Structure 1
């Protein structure tokens, strides 16, 4: 009788999750979304072109608003983060921004010939919304190219690029975009995605045509 009374006085005992399970689940969710959170802050600073404490704090507020206030569906990374390839991506990106700025400036000042422009379609190899978004944003932030449309179903990015005069230049632009996709996957992609962009794995068809 005493045992029955104890059970009645402690309703639900033994039916809920073990103590600490809920906390571990929350920590795992935070860990999976942390790279996305950091990426939003970095993206904010890149868009403003400022790497200051104020830019970081405002980016932090914007990231909190996007991930918490608007209550969007959670976007989770694969859980794999390679710090070395992340550093390689950042340094390569900064170098590309400087090189792109100088190239565009020279094309504008070179009155001997028109730089040429085209709309190029690039079919990505990875079927992942986050990787596609990161690739699109990276390509748009580099002077000389701008994303004008994206076909999610077929994984195609459409870019307006300048400095294109022939098919060789078109292919070079495509390879450049696929190169950014590869660097992003190496930094934060899953192992399955990494295998898809590995040099020893034949790449998926990347041609999407030129408009």
Structure 2
């Protein structure tokens, strides 16, 4: 029963066996991707090792239930992967330049970025993608508010902090474009009226 004057929400569809298996398969797939990224080499051995380690993690340390209500878009996923590789190489070169530049002492800062899609899956994927890029480190995640606390390297002005926040939100946007639902996509895409005014 609902309280008087309160509109009943939409019924939540039960998650069947297929839904649970699908969520487990997606979790295993992402664990394998992270394993391969950590090793930095795509080969059969790393693929098999990732499958074994990922299966062990899901078996002995079961993750909280994270339902996937989005839609996989191969084109957007490919665009995300290509952009991620470009950012990875660019950030690596930037950090390498800082490391070998004589007498240069970079300044770091801690910033908070609140994501626009408050789901566990989006929070985990965005945090993982951001932390894999050199020069940025996730130091805390607030699940209740979907906020990431990041340590960013080589900041000199407030504009650098704003740029780091925008880059993090851009990562979230590209992830939602690749695997998010239509409703989640509307949360991260700019309003058409605002987009038209900015041109």
**TM-score bracket for this pair, using the shorter chain length:** 0.7 to 0.9
Gaps of 5+ in 1: 1-24, 204-211
Q: Distance in 2 between matches of 1:121 and 1:79?
A: 26
1:130 aligns with 2:129: no
Q: Distance in 2 between matches of 1:201 and 1:156?
A: 26
User: Are 1:33 and 1:75, in contact at CA under 8 Å, matched by a contact in 2?
Assistant: no
User: Are 1:115 and 1:162, in contact at CA under 8 Å, matched by a contact in 2?
Assistant: yes
Deviations 1:152-177 (A, max 9, x none): 11221111111110001000100011
User: Are 1:32 and 1:78, in contact at CA under 8 Å, matched by a contact in 2?
Assistant: no
User: Structure 1 length normalisation: TM-score?
Assistant: 0.78
User: Are 1:32 and 1:79, in contact at CA under 8 Å, matched by a contact in 2?
Assistant: no
Q: What is the aligned residue count?
A: 180
Q: Secondary structure at the match of 1:111?
A: coil
Q: Distance in 2 between matches of 1:106 and 1:115?
A: 11
4+ residue segments displaced more than 4 Å: none
Relative distance call for 1:202 and 1:153 in structure 2 (3 A) is farther
User: Are 1:31 and 1:79, in contact at CA under 8 Å, matched by a contact in 2?
Assistant: no
Q: Distance in 2 between matches of 1:170 and 1:76?
A: 33
Q: Secondary structure at the match of 1:78?
A: coil
Query: Residue in 2 aligned with 1:209?
Result: none
1:38 aligns with 2:29: yes
1:176 aligns with 2:167: yes
Q: Distance in 2 between matches of 1:201 and 1:148?
A: 35
